């Protein structure tokens, strides 16, 4: 059985922007202002975020390599395509629980958002970077647990 998982870069980057905006607004600096301008990702930061997107794609394909049947082509590293959609087809075992596909898709999206946010915060605001890195790792563990789970064998009656 094959399942297809896709993640749209534009949706991920929009969520990263919202998340970093919120984080920046909640941080109070030593002078009493907020760290919005320091933490919030802008279009000017897109080349760095592109690097983090590629790292997330590479980590995903590495973690799921046992099941990968096909993976979408990625543009050259020198280009930035805002409309890129990372897509992969996974060849799942017979006892794979198909009801988990939607939650795997959701966890994969969250993995990308949290992974990119963690890497960005590693540059912009190190204090919160570890939290988002752990959150991304938890997302990937959720994905792997759901993929490796096998439905119990059911006897067939004749």
Helices of type H across the chain: 9-26, 36-39, 46-63, 101-124, 126-148
CB count within 10 Å of CB 129 equals 17
Largest CA distance in the chain: 77
Question: Residue 66: is it exposed, middle or buried by C-beta count within 10 angstroms (0-12/13-18/19+)?
Answer: exposed
Distance between CA atoms of 49 and 66, rounded to whole angstroms? 27
pTM of the model: 0.91
Q: What does each of the 158 residues of the chain score in pLDDT, given as a tens digit?
A: 999 999 999 999 999 999 999 988 887 777 777 778 778 888 888 888 999 999 999 999 999 999 999 999 877 776 778 889 999 999 998 899 999 999 999 999 999 999 999 999 999 888 889 999 999 999 999 999 999 988 888 777 77
Distance between CA atoms of 143 and 104, rounded to whole angstroms? 5
Domain ranges of the chain: 2-148
């Amino acid at each position: 059985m094959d399942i297809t998982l896709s993640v749209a870069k534009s949706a991920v980057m929009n969520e990263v922007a919202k998340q970093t905006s919120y984080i920046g607004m909640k941080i109070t600096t030593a002078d009493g202002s907020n760290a919005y301008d320091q933490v919030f990702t802008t279009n000017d930061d897109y080349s760095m975020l592109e690097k983090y997107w590629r790292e997330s794609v590479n980590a995903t394909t590495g973690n799921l390599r046992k099941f990968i049947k096909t993976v979408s082509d990625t543009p050259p590293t020198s280009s930035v395509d805002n409309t890129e959609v990372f897509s992969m087809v996974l060849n799942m075992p017979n006892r794979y629980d198909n009801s988990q596909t939607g939650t795997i898709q959701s966890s994969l999206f969250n993995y990308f958002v949290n992974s990119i946010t963690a890497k960005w915060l590693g540059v912009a605001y190190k204090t919160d970077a570890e939290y988002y890195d752990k959150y991304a790792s938890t997302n990937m563990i959720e994905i792997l647990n759901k993929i490796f789970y096998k439905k119990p064998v059911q006897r067939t009656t004749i």
